[in-house]
């Protein structure tokens, strides 16, 4: 179990190597990486700013990891989420789950990402090449996904 | 009356032009819903920032709380729009 809220970039391969060191009985690792898109509704993105709530964000990520650990048998989890100014193509978030079998790793990674999007206290502001900028609305589809 | 530190984030922080504020909570303001309606009444800037369509949410002690949560024992309350991370 590990989570990091950080400004700097991360290396997925390096994180996976660290994850595998945590247990000698890992049969499956699922990773998700979220990146800054190049455009939104046809508008070219120039920059994304990510704000977070120090203290609470970490507490919420820990709660999400604890819930996932209770629901699935997992050998290891890592969540990394960046904040600050990011450019199109930059990595924003990574979730990796490791378990003996693939089902637990797949399901737990989806549960973790859905809950990070719904509960972790991060806010995105998008700036566009035409000079406009706006805070991102929460997406109705993520809420619906959690109702399944 | 008791004193509370309010923290503001993201679009709410920008709309109010501040990231935190220490306020005296008036009598009768007992829940998060009371707090949000009181903010709406403070002045035009607050009214716009806290209008119902902004869906402002609250956290106490680093935990999300619902609109009927009591604020009378809180020292610090964070207020923010719906989260958009991930």
Give A127's contacts in chain B (Cβ within 8 Å): none
Q: Mean pLDDT across the stretch A17-41? A: 96
What is the percentage of chain A residues whose pLDDT exceeds 70? 93
A34 with A10: CB under 8 angstroms?
no
Give B11's contacts in chain A (Cβ within 8 Å): 123, 135
Distance CA A28, CA B12 (A): 42
Say if residue A93's pLDDT is above 80. yes
pTM here is 0.93
Distance CA B70, CA B31 (A): 4
**With an 8 Å Cβ cutoff, are A123 and B7 in contact?**
no
Q: How many CA atoms, within 13 angstroms, populate the side-chain half-sphere of residue A133?
A: 13
- How does strand A91-99 pair with strand A76-82? antiparallel
- The model's confidence at residue B52, banded by pLDDT at 50, 70 and 90, is confident
Mean pLDDT score across all residues of chain B: 95
ipTM of the modeled complex: 0.95
Give the model's pLDDT for residue A144: 55
**With an 8 Å Cβ cutoff, are A59 and B63 in contact?**
yes
Closest residue in A to B57 (Cα) is A121
Give the model's pLDDT for residue B53: 87
pLDDT in tens, A47-65: 999 999 999 999 999 999 9
């Amino acid at each position: 179990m590990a989570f990091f809220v950080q400004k700097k970039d991360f290396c997925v391969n390096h994180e996976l190597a660290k994850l595998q060191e945590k247990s000698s009985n890992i049969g499956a690792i699922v990773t998700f990486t979220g990146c800054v898109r190049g455009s939104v509704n046809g508008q070219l993105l120039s920059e994304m700013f990510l704000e977070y709530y120090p203290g609470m964000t970490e507490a919420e990520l820990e709660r999400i990891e604890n819930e996932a650990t209770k629901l699935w048998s997992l050998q290891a989890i890592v969540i990394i989420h960046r904040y600050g100014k990011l450019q199109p193509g930059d990595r924003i978030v990574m979730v990796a789950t490791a378990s003996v079998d693939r089902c637990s790793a797949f399901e737990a990674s989806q549960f973790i990402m859905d809950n990070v999007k719904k509960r972790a206290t991060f806010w995105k502001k998008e700036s566009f090449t035409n000079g406009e900028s706006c805070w991102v609305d929460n997406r109705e589809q993520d809420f619906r996904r959690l109702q399944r | 009356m008791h004193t509370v530190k309010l923290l503001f984030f993201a679009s709410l922080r920008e709309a109010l032009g501040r990231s935190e504020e220490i306020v005296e909570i008036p009598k009768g303001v007992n829940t998060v819903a009371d707090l949000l309606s009181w903010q709406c009444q403070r002045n035009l800037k607050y009214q716009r920032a806290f209008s119902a369509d902004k869906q402002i949410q609250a956290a106490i002690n680093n935990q999300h709380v619902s609109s009927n949560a009591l604020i009378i024992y809180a020292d610090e309350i964070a207020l923010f729009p719906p989260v958009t991370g991930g």
